[in-house]
Amino acid sequence: MSHSIQIKIRGYHLDFYGHVNNARYLEFLEEARWAHLEQGVDLGFWKERGLGFVVASLTINYRRPAGLGTVIEVRSHVDHLGGKSGVIHQDVVDSVTGSAIADADVTFVVVDMRTGKAVALEGEIRQQLLEPKEEAGQTPEGEGG
């Protein structure tokens, strides 16, 4: 499952040098991950079972600065699912030029919120992470509709 969002760079995103502060990219990436997860994950299912999505590590590469007024696109997809952890890859690009601005690999686990321990990524959990949920009137990206 892949997903993308667009974010317009505003003054409060900028640092002293006039480009997006490195810490702001973490917020952009998080916003995109939530949008990505909401596309495929049934949050009610997770809440009923006491499951939580937890970032274990994040590696980010800054490619070029983005400035005021730039509209960025953050693209997210599940790159890998292991037994108890997975990786979401995210690309941040200039939505006009397509130039790479940053990219990140986010390693995550799904935890049992009662015990704090990672659970196996199998069955319905795995399916929800890999496939968009099918709702009336929605079609997966890339299909006409």
Within-domain flag for 136 = no
Within-domain flag for 104 = yes
Within-domain flag for 140 = no
Model confidence at 142: pLDDT above 60: no
The residue-averaged pLDDT of 12-39 equals 94
Find, among 135, 126, 142, 6, the residue nearest to 66 by Cα: 6
As annotated, the active-site residues are 15
Number of Cβ within 10 Å of residue 102's Cβ equals 22
Give residue-wise pLDDT tens across range 11-22: 999 999 999 999
The pLDDT, as a whole number, for residue 132 is: 62
Within-domain flag for 141 = no
Distance of alpha carbon 58 from alpha carbon 71, whole angstroms: 23
CATH number reported for the structural domain that contains residue 119 in this entry: 3.10.129.10
Instruction: Give me the half-sphere count of Cα atoms (radius 13 Å) on the Cβ side of residue 64.
Output: 10
Within-domain flag for 55 = yes
Distance of alpha carbon 97 from alpha carbon 61, whole angstroms: 19
Within-domain flag for 72 = yes
Give residue-wise pLDDT tens across range 77-133: 999 999 999 999 999 999 999 999 999 999 999 999 999 999 999 999 999 998 866
How far is residue 8 from each of residues 30, 102, 132, measured CA to CA in Å?
Answer: 15, 15, 26
- Per the structure, the complete domain to which residue 109 belongs is given by 2-130
The pLDDT, as a whole number, for residue 42 is: 86
Find, among 54, 53, 50, the residue nearest to 114 by Cα: 50
If one counts the domains in the chain, the total is 1
pLDDT higher for 109 or 138? Answer: 109
Sequence-ordered list of residues with C-beta below 8 angstroms from that of 126, at least 6 positions apart, any chain: 81
Within-domain flag for 144 = no
Within-domain flag for 135 = no
